Amino acid sequence: RLRETTSADKLVTLTPAECEAVLLAAQCLDNQKIADRLSINISAVKTRLHSAFRKLGVVNRSQLVAMVK
């Protein structure tokens, strides 16, 4: 019997870079603050978050925060 995919199962599919961005976004940091914190450009933040949203099956930060917490 197959078990349902849980939030934790989905979270482990993230790369370390995506995980960093997701955790900072879950702390309500905006893209610029995440970029500053990670010393990357804002487009890299957007790419990481977009990829994470797709993998996690969420469409916005509210859903992301709910999944991570």
Query: Residue 14: is its pLDDT beyond 80?
Result: yes
Residue with tokens 């917490």, as numbered in its chain: 69
Per-residue pLDDT, 12: 80
Whether pLDDT at 43 is above 90: yes
Residue 52 contacts by C-beta under 8 Å, 6 or more apart in sequence?
A: 14, 18, 19, 21, 22, 64
Worst-scoring range by mean pLDDT, 11-15, 19-23, 52-56? 11-15
Inter-CA distances, 53 with 1, 14, 58, 61, Å: 28, 10, 5, 9
pTM recorded for the entire structure? 0.84
For the chain, the average pLDDT equals 91
The pLDDT assigned to 48 comes to 97
